[in-house]
Structure 1
């Protein structure tokens, strides 16, 4: 048999009981689980318990991978999670519950990944979320609810990334987000207080009339109108609503006059009418088009559309004579192209889909659905009686995905998946009674892997493996009474080794079989003899006809996997031989079915992990052998669960730990030791070896008798967690030792119970985060050590809570930042620099180290008025800078980054009037630029891109006449009217 079949044939649900988790006796390497000390992937059952004794986990492994049903439980005994594994991966239906038994989540796994629809619930039983997965990633619509039942969010995903509509509500039902994601990024709309357009984050701009009514609303990105904008008349009527892109009209626009009459309903592109109605003209693709309108005889509008070059183009609509709409859709060059919706006269929708060059492409068209031009149909077939016969999906008349078939009485006959009309994946079948008939997998329409068949009375009929539709591997067949009829190995469809009815085979060759019988005529054993030696498959029986053992012989010696049963028919043990000698893992069961033992052999000797259970399912012992001697970790328990042995053996000798009440260290038996104060109260107590070497747990006491400290010793050195107490009994500190040196986190408390410190050590040296508190709970300092020296960020406060240190150390040297004795930069203390004019007024002031300027600097004119102010970062301007005229009026304001202008800069004339608004990126002109005359009239406006004019530019003369209205492209005059003439696509036009 293949290993999986062997295991599934004999596996029982293991309900063990142990104070330790059996999985702790396993180790995982490269995603394969092994027993400690073994090189063979682990096969067997596992279990675990909480400290309380309550079961925590039940499951099994095959060849180092989780297999079959696994059950996880809460501490109160309620199931917390349940489902099946296959080859180490979760598969099929999985469910999860809260501690009170309320369902938490339910869904399906495929190859270890969540798949299909998953549902989640709050712990009060109300729905929390519904979401669909494809290959472990979110896909399609996800809905979320608060525990009060109100909507929380509505999100669309595309293979793991948010993509599409995103809506969110607060618990009171108020919408707080309404936007669009694109490839996982916020793309458009608002998300809380943040607004996005085409992936760029903007700021909301709102302007009001003096009456308080809203006048303008929209989003600015880099100072330019972007996305939807709206404006209202003073009477409250809307004036327009439309989209901008980088400050230009671009997209859908609707405008009204003050009386509410629509004057524009169309699309702009780059500030030009592109499509739709613009006052008295209709545009299509930027040119004035011919509008077509047809009416019914009763005067009701019938058809509206556009012709371009005598071909239908753009949006078309038609209405029935009663005024109800018949269709609404788009044409391109005379062909249906894009979104279409169509209705019956009664108003029922019959088409909601998309055309592509007159071809049905996506969506619903009558009773048919299309995906990328392929017809997708949910197929259903009925019996004459009306009951369902078959259901599934057809794509262009080809079976795809899950299909199910039923008997006429409503019982499921079989179900599984198709790929392009070929069976693929797991299929299950049932008899008309509802009993299981078969289960197995197909690959490309052929049986593959383990298949199991049953009689109609639920007894197993046969079980074995296929390879591409051909029997290959172990096969067993039983009679309706449960007798074994066939027990044979197939090799690529050929009967290879074993018994097939009354015929025996050995490596594909038919051999003469031997049967011996009991006096009552029942077969005692059966197999093949060759040269008077047993070969091939042999099976022995009890005198009641039930199997006793079965396995293979090679030249008269047991070889390979052997199975044994009690006379009752229940399994007794299973294991392997190598030329008559036990080899590898052996498993045993009590006659009650409870697990008995798990043993491993190497060349007949005990080797690797050994486990023994009592018949009451309590663990008796678990440990390791090497060459027939106990070696490594061992644990033994009494029938009542008490610990008898918890230690390690070395070559058969007790080495470290507790062995039936006695403690050993390095093979030496320990003795109890106590020290006393002069008043005869106990000072300390614990275990020693060799007269004075402390080992194991030790406790120290104050003279008053209260506990002072406790922890573990290994060979006279502190190891692991140690705890300390004040005389009052309150905790003083807790921390860890490694080889007698402080290592890891240490916590301390004042005698009042208030937190004192948090420190970290490595090999006895200060290393990592350190925090110290005053006894009133206020923080005193926080910083990091490296190799016993201060390193990195440090902050300190005085008792009043004022920050006195905010800087960094390097190798315990004050490196940069503010310290109690001054400002530091790269380990040197900075000095305050001041310069003066000859008249005594301040000229400049700031921090200086050598010739390097740091932090805030200010400069003054000789009349005392401030001239310039801003910050330096290592002698380079960084952050906001301001300049003033000598009169004291503001001159310029903007940002530097690494000594280069960056972001928006503003300037004013000496009379306070605006001068310019400019944008920079790393020192280059980039973004919007606006210049005003000193009378407040605008001089020019436009944009730069990477230092060159790019996009629409306007310029006005001093008398307000427009003298430039054109666009630049990469610094070149491109389209429009310039001072030297008209340009089109970069070429000057001769008019």
Structure 2
């Protein structure tokens, strides 16, 4: 029989058994309602079970396995027709089991042991629910440990160790699958340990000692919780110390010292919280000082000095907060200054000067503004060593007197500057110390007085304002070598003292007087024939002020007058060539009145004035042709005062009234002319009353019977009598 079967209602249902030709059972299967169900088993022809399958309601489920001819067992784990995992028990060709495994419900669970072909254990592993767990150990065939791994809930954890055959040991420290650190115990080829280490929980803790191949200590490091903490030292292969320091919490802290290979100290300093803090001193390999300074929390501070090998100072710098701040000086090996300047915020700032000490002279002047060179000036010298120019600076501006010199050190040019601009005195000289010119600048422009000299004599003056010539004077001479004029200037370009022009033989032609640029004093103009004065004019504060006089060539008066602050003022008198006189009365430049002597045909004077102190003063009389008085006027210091009277004929009044302080005051009376006998007074024409120049009342009368009438009927609106009624 090949197979024993079982059907129900046409469907596979029940046990099915297959047979080999020799009658041995080949397999056992089970169906329910035409679906595989339960455990299925398979056998070899020799009757040995070599496979198992499990079905539930027609679906593959749970652990399946099969054994091949070599004895290897292959497993599959199913869950409702879904393959969960596959694994196997394999063997070496000699039949030795390669790995003993442990599964639960298709998942690795339990101890797994691996074997060498010799049957010796190669490793031991452990799983829980398919996750690596616990300590895994790997062993060489000679029984020595090869590797140790530790897992927790499937994750790498704790210290893993790998042991090499040469004695090197490698470490990894894991924290739940996260690599924390790696380290090793290594050895030289001769077996000497390279470094003795100390770890705790994957972190460096304790003393680490490094070694040279000859066994001498190479370095010492001390750690706490993976940070340097404690002694830190380095040594040479011969045992000479090179460095000694201390750490705290991973940072350098405390005294620090370094040595050269010959044992001489190289550096002495100190640290605080990982930063240089305190004194710093370095030396060369012969023990001589090189650098001395100070640190404050990692930053240079205070004065720093360096030395030449001879022990002489080389440099001095000042620091603040780690940056060069303050004066800097560089000396040569015999103590002479080569360079000096200042730093600000680690940048050159301000004036820097270099010297050539061998030639005992300054080489350059430089000015920096926060590291930016604003000026670089290099001194120039003649072949004999004398300087060509002596500059003067304020910051990067030319400032003060600049002197350019001949090679014999005599002054050639002097230029004065103020903050980069020519400002002040300028001079030019010959090599024989003779002045060529002198002048002044203001804001780089020619200004004030410029004097030009030849052969010790001034030949010309020029006065400038902002590069424009505004005044000047050139010395000129007649053919007989006599000067035509003389001038005096102040250094500011203002005319000063007496100025002269001359006639050919040297007599004065004009005299002018100045005081600091202003006209002042008495000025004269002279005739070229008699050399007597033509005019005499007085000035004050640059204005005509005071008496003014003019003469005819025969010295007779021509004009006499007075100026007040540049304006004609008060009485001016004029004489014509016949000697006739006229007057002008001025009030601060305004012509107020004039007077000229007039005469009747018989020679009788028409009016006789009265003046005092260049003003009308006293009584003025008017005359009829026969010499009788026709009117009287009175003045006091130029003002109308007293009684004023006019006459028609002798003793017959035309009007009369009073002035008080140049204003009509009191009653003023006008009369009709009496056509009758000489000397008899006519009837009153009008009576007007004034008070301090203001018309108070007026009455007018008829000629015949004295009846009051309207004044306009007599005088009209513009009659002269009332033209000044309010004065």
Give yes or no for TM over 0.5. Answer: no
TM-score under structure 1 normalisation? 0.23
Structure with higher strand content = 1
TM-score under structure 2 normalisation? 0.30
Structure (1 or 2) with the larger CA radius of gyration? 2
